[in-house]
């Protein structure tokens, strides 16, 4: 039996509030027949509350793309977990490679953010993944293992049940390159094995591990059919209701 498939859309720095509401409404209409797949959309901070007005009474969940670990204070431009929660969001993406690349995120800050998110009733979608240089040097599993150990330091088995891991090879994000289903499955399988070592087999078995990195309707089925791939964190293809809902419908048929 396949675990529940979770499809999340990371809108990144796209969509004004009116555009975001329009897209959310289109996604809502096109996924009304979905009963098994969990759907999460992650608009920019500015659009979280307006989008929640559109999807609040639907089955679609709302997520933020980032947050800060402090509760409040003199942190100009930052958003706390409590602020995210107050918009109606119940998920938050943490440690996306673009945050690591451009904004200095580390395994330590990811760990702090995860703890703050959980304390505020948010479910973290925690991103891990290697660069092209790291893959070519054949240290993918070492890199991903280090990120996971750092991210989940001090996180209990019970807390792990509220967490989603998203494996995103950095070389496949926004490049049009996708890991082959076999490459993706290999890393997903190793992540599950590592979680079983750090916690236990039951925690590992229940864990949702998404794949991210140029997921589109054309490759969704081959990726989502893999044993240890439980969903997708979708980038570019989630900015159009047609392509995003097509991926969700593909996921629905596989469950």
Q: Using DSSP, state whether 79 is helix, strand or coil.
A: coil
Q: Please name every residue paired with 63 in a beta bridge, in sequence order, or none if there are none.
A: 91
The torsion angles phi and psi of 107, rounded to 5 degrees, stand at -60, -35
Instruction: In whole angstroms, give the CA distance from residue 132 to residue 42.
Output: 26
CA dihedral 174, 151, 184, 121 (to 10 degrees): -80
Instruction: In whole angstroms, give the CA distance from residue 133 to residue 154.
Output: 30
Considering the candidates 61, 96, 105, 188, report the single residue annotated as catalytic: 96
Catalytic status, residue 168? yes
Catalytic status, residue 61? no
The 3-state DSSP composition of the chain as helix, strand, coil percent (nearest 5) reads 50, 15, 35
- Taking the alpha carbons at both ends of the chain, their separation in whole angstroms is 8
Strands 231-234 and 6-10: parallel
Catalytic residues: 96, 168
């Amino acid at each position: 039996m396949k675990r529940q498939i979770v499809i999340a859309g990371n809108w990144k720095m796209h969509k004004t509030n009116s555009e975001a509401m329009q897209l959310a409404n289109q996604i809502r209409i096109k996924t009304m027949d979905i009963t098994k797949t969990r759907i999460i959309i992650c608009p920019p901070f500015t659009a979280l509350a307006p989008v929640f007005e559109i999807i609040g009474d639907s089955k679609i969940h709302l997520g933020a793309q980032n947050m800060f670990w402090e509760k409040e204070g003199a942190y100009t431009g930052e958003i706390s977990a409590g602020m995210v929660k107050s918009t109606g969001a119940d998920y938050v993406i943490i440690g996306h490679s673009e945050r690591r690349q451009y904004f200095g995120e580390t395994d330590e800050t990811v760990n702090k953010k995860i703890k703050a998110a959980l304390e505020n009733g948010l479910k973290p979608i925690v991103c891990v993944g290697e660069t092209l240089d790291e893959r070519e040097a054949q240290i993918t599993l070492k890199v991903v293992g280090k990120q996971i150990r750092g991210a989940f330091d001090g996180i209990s088995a019970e807390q792990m049940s509220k967490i989603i891991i998203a494996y995103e090879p950095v070389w496949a994000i926004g490049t049009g390159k996708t890991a082959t289903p076999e490459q993706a499955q290999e890393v997903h399988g190793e992540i599950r094995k590592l979680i079983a070592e750090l916690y236990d087999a039951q925690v590992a078995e229940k864990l949702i591990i998404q794949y991210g990195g140029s997921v589109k309707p054309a490759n969704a089925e081959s990726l989502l059919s893999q044993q240890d791939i439980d969903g997708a964190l979708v980038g570019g293809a989630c900015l159009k209701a047609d392509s995003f809902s097509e991926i969700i419908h593909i996921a629905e048929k596989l469950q």
